[in-house]
């Protein structure tokens, strides 16, 4: 390519950037207008709701449907995700608490869902995220709920039982783990590997094969593990890209998770009910009486109405020995007439039924 050709293409890019810039600014002014309309149409004492997850899901889906390339759908949606995040920040900067410290996969999930224009607050434990949301100190919380290799995150399920929260969104993240060391580490004398218990479990076979005699130490998060090894000489951490970058660690081995499709699903919790989008999921907790066939009774209405269950999890109930509650996720919104009917049928048989929330299926 000649210098002249390159110059001409850059002139074209400059001119396109000017147009993109003007269009993004016009969109941002439009969002400011939306905020004005929302404020103007409030009834006496009503609180404005600026964040609209159902609308955001619609915008991102539309972008993906209309995208003709060469950028991929996910890539294009990610760009629009950030534009929308900045537009929302003009209306109201969202405050989001997540399972910290900085650099956790939960932080990455929060950014994937809300974009980077939010004010984010790392919390030390899952329960603290719930308490922060319950206290109204933040608009939303982000917590992990299940991993494709290791299963349920029980702390989150138990917190959902204890607190009155609304689930208003979900996001899935591919989880890649690396073995990380600080600059002073003697790599041939590693005697200890830190990580979160779930991450150690997700890399169990790799660790058995490569570091069978090294002590595995479970800490509160993999970002915490990364933070610790920064100053230590004989230790390594298992953590992801964000933590590696944040603490300036070197990757001794990359993508060491036992399953290449290792993914984690995260929930957005808050107090805002989300209207139907036509492509939603609902999460409920049900407790049935301890009698034969109870689980069958619970599942029949779903089957009879052709409603897809996406997950069912059992946890001991807090109210009696050997009694259980079921966490169920299914396709549909609790305002859909079909779903309404199923929930009514279940509540006739159940000891207790709580709808945790209906929310758009993850777009990104």
Residue of the chain from 60, 84, 179, 294 that contacts ligand PRE (CB under 6 A): 84
Residue of the chain from 56, 132, 170, 336 that contacts ligand PRE (CB under 6 A): 56
Residue of the chain from 52, 155, 163, 361 that contacts ligand PRE (CB under 6 A): 52
Per CB under 6 A, the segment of 87-95, 136-144, 270-278, 307-315 that binds ligand PRE is: 87-95
Per CB under 6 A, the segment of 83-91, 118-126, 327-335, 354-362 that binds ligand PRE is: 83-91
Dig out the tokens for 302 from the structure.
């779903």
78: contact with ligand PRE by CB under 6 A: no
160: contact with ligand PRE by CB under 6 A: no
Dig out the tokens for 272 from the structure.
């805002």
Please tell me the count of residues contacting ligand PRE according to CB under 6 A. Answer: 12
Strand partners, 352: 287
Q: How far apart are CA 99 and CA 108, in angstroms?
A: 10
Strand partners, 97: 121, 141
51: contact with ligand PRE by CB under 6 A: yes
59: contact with ligand PRE by CB under 6 A: yes
Residue 355: how many other CB atoms lie within 10 Å: 17
CB of 119 to ligand PRE, least distance (A): 15
Residue 28: how many other CB atoms lie within 10 Å: 16
239: contact with ligand PRE by CB under 6 A: no
Q: How far apart are CA 154 and CA 160, in angstroms?
A: 10
Q: How far apart are CA 199 and CA 36, in angstroms?
A: 46
Q: Please, which residue, 59 or 253, has the CB nearer to ligand PRE?
A: 59
Sign of the C-alpha dihedral, residues 269, 275, 281, 283?
Answer: positive
Residue of the chain from 57, 60, 87, 285 that contacts ligand PRE (CB under 6 A): 87
Per CB under 6 A, the segment of 84-92, 134-142, 186-194, 298-306 that binds ligand PRE is: 84-92
Q: How far apart are CA 339 and CA 307, in angstroms?
A: 8
34: contact with ligand PRE by CB under 6 A: yes
91: contact with ligand PRE by CB under 6 A: yes
88: contact with ligand PRE by CB under 6 A: yes
Q: How far apart are CA 138 and CA 119, in angstroms?
A: 9
Dig out the tokens for 255 from the structure.
């993508």
55: contact with ligand PRE by CB under 6 A: yes
Q: How far apart are CA 54 and CA 320, in angstroms?
A: 38
Strand partners, 264: 147, 173
Q: List residues near ligand PRE by CB under 6 A.
A: 31, 34, 50-52, 55-56, 59, 84, 87-88, 91
């Amino acid at each position: 390519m000649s210098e002249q050709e390159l110059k001409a293409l850059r002139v074209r890019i400059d001119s396109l950037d000017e147009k993109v810039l003007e269009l993004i600014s016009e969109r941002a002014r439009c969002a400011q207008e939306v905020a004005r309309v929302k404020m103007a149409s409030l009834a006496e004492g009503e609180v404005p709701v600026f964040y609209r997850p159902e609308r955001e899901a619609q915008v991102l889906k539309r972008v993906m449907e209309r995208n003709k390339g060469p950028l991929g759908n996910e890539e294009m949606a990610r760009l629009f995700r950030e534009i929308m995040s900045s537009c929302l920040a003009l209306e109201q900067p969202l405050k989001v608490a997540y399972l910290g410290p900085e650099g956790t996969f939960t932080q990455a999930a929060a950014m994937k869902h809300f974009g980077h224009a939010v004010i984010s607050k790392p919390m030390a434990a899952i329960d603290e995220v719930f308490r922060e949301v319950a206290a109204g100190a933040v608009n939303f919380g982000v917590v992990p709920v299940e991993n494709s290799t290791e299963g349920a995150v029980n702390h989150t399920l138990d917190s959902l039982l204890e607190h009155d929260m609304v689930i208003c969104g979900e996001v899935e993240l591919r989880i890649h783990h690396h073995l990380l060391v600080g600059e002073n580490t003697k790599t041939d004398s590693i005697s200890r590997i830190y990580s979160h218990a779930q991450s150690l479990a997700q890399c169990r076979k790799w660790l058995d094969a490569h570091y069978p005699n090294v002590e595995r130490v479970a800490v509160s998060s993999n970002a915490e593990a990364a933070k610790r090894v920064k100053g230590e000489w004989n230790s390594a951490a298992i953590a992801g890209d964000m933590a590696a970058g944040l603490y300036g660690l070197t990757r001794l081995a990359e993508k060491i998770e036992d399953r290449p499709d290792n993914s984690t699903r995260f929930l957005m919790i808050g107090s805002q009910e989300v209207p139907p989008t036509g492509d939603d999921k609902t999460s409920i907790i049900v407790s049935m009486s301890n009698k034969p066939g109870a689980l069958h009774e619970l599942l029949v209405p779903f089957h009879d109405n052709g409603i897809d269950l996406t997950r069912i999890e059992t946890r001991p109930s807090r109210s009696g020995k050997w009694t259980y509650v079921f966490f169920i996720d299914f396709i549909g919104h609790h305002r859909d007439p079909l779903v309404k009917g199923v929930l009514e049928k279940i509540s006739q048989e159940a000891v207790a039924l709580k709808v945790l929330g209906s929310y758009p299926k993850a777009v990104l």
